[in-house]
Amino acid sequence: MGRRLGVDTVICTKLEVGSDGAYTGRMDGGNCRGAEKARRLTAHLDSVGGATLGWAYGDSSGDREMLAMAEHPVWVSRRGGLGHTMV
């Protein structure tokens, strides 16, 4: 999807693909949330020269660690409202 959208890097939970090329319904690796999301994001930022995370948007408890890394964390409510994070 990232390539189709012209995005250079996608950090996400990956889905397992079977030998027939179809998705199996299982994850390929760990779930990208919470501490794992922050770890993957830190690794990516380090790989591009130690960049910092400017803006970050989160809408679940699994985003707290990522939001804590951001210079400008924004909590997005499930009802569409924006606000400063609850980190």
CATH code of the domain occupying 2-84? 3.40.50.1000
Q: What is the mean pLDDT of residues 33-49?
A: 95
Task: Give the residue extent of every domain in the chain.
Answer: 2-84
> How many angstroms separate the most distant Cα atoms in the chain?
45
Is the pLDDT reported for residue 85 higher than 80? Answer: no
Within 10-77, where are the H helices?
35-47, 64-69
- The pLDDT of residue 52 is above 70: yes
What pTM did the predictor assign?
A: 0.77
Asked if pLDDT for residue 18 goes beyond 90, the answer is yes
**CB distance 50 to 42 below 8 Å:** no
pLDDT of 84 > 80? The answer is no
Reported confidence tier of residue 21, pLDDT bands at 50, 70, 90:
very high
Q: Which among 51, 56, 62 has a CA at the least distance from the CA of 75?
A: 56
